[in-house]
Amino acid sequence: MSQKKIQIKITEEGIIHAETLGIKGNECLEYISLLEELLEAQTVDSNYTVEYLETEIHIEMKSKQELKEK
């Protein structure tokens, strides 16, 4: 599993660019309001990353072992 990150760049003009890294699917959209609140900013434009189209898969494996009687 990749580490989830948000990369934030602020230009000299005060323009804020934020990009999610390692966050797949719709989960990245949950961070927009959080970023707006933390940065005291409003989203003007946004684009989907390639990771938006990916799905994070969680696999849980269980094994069952039985002892045979002799």
Element (H, E) at 33: helix 31-39
More confident residue, 49 or 57: 49
**pLDDT, tens digit, for every residue of 23-48?**
888 888 888 888 888 888 888 888 88
8 SS3 class? strand
> Given this model, what pLDDT does residue 69 score?
76
> Taking residues 5-20, what's their average pLDDT?
89
Q: Is 32 in contact with 43 (CB distance < 8 Å)? A: yes
Banded pLDDT at 12 (limits 50, 70, 90): very high
Banded pLDDT at 16 (limits 50, 70, 90): confident
